Structure 1
Amino acid sequence: MSLPLRTSSLDPVQIPGWRWQPFLDTAVTAMASLQPKAYPIEERFLQKEGSTGSKAKPIPVTTATWACSTEKLRQVRCACVEAGGAASVLNFVINPSCRFDLPFFGADLVTLPNGHLLALDLQPVNKTDPDHTSPVWERLMPLFEHWRAELPDGGPIPDEAQPYFSPAFLWTRIPLGEEGDALIERVIRPAFTDYLQLYLALVEEAEPVDDDRAGLLLSGQKRYTAYRSEKDPARGMLTRFYGSEWTESYIHGVLFDL
């Protein structure tokens, strides 16, 4: 089923059969209290149709983007991919303004033919700065400990990625089928809501910082954005769907545009 192109990034994304629709709906509803405004995105990135699989049995692919901004949040965006049995993805990132001492919010919910890869975190701008991390982690760690006990561990992350994740990085791999579906409903959905609600509480409480602090935060945000754009795991998948030119423009011009 082909969807009409959207002209505003605040219009709700609705993709038939998309597994992660309830998570995006939760996020959009939660953001409403912050009085968001549309974040500018080129029309060619708002929604993209394609196909994967064989010529005899092509699988339709839809990639859509929802995005907004607020006074304290430079860019809030969700990349949504639905490709039937080939892939179903929600990549939701909140990028704070450097004028406020806030972490990033990151959620990656990915279904592939061999299972679900699920990650949640409030990611530090500068992991070595206790003034930046302590107020967050002391409130985040109890949530992490609660939900981690309900999930299998996702395994180690590369050393080069360590600076960009908090100690409360909730990361799991779970199987397809009834067992995985049950864990998503019983654990991942409420964990997503808990992490997001804490993040929005931090946003509500955040006060403006001075120019020197804003400059340090901006430098940290640029390091994070550069790392994420270079190492984006969706690059290969999107390139197969849409080609390299569109994919690189999407990664650098929309997903990690700082």
Structure 2
Amino acid sequence: TRLGGGGEKDDEEHDQLPPTTKIAAQLLPVMEAHLQVYCNLFQRNNDDKSTLESTATSSLRPYLEYRLSKDPARPMLQSLYGKEWTEEILEQVLFPMELLFGKRDDA
């Protein structure tokens, strides 16, 4: 099986080339096309980055509020260290919403 196609003269010249050169000649255009598609996808992703970041940030607060209110370790920590220490650790270390978002206006 021959790579590419052409006239007899092209076949003779092609037969004299080392195998790696023959393969490289066929693969280079394919690799260039693949790289172009990758670069286009990468650029499109960078253009949408701010939208993705704002979506992630807007979803983070409700998630942290839910996790803070439903933390399964709260009863154990309260029994070992007391309610005040537990709430401080949960709010400032594990789910630091004030650190991430600032104080809430409605709080």
Task: State the structure with more CA Rg.
Answer: 2
TM superposition score normalised by structure 2 = 0.44
Higher helix share: 2
**Greater fraction of residues in strand:** 1
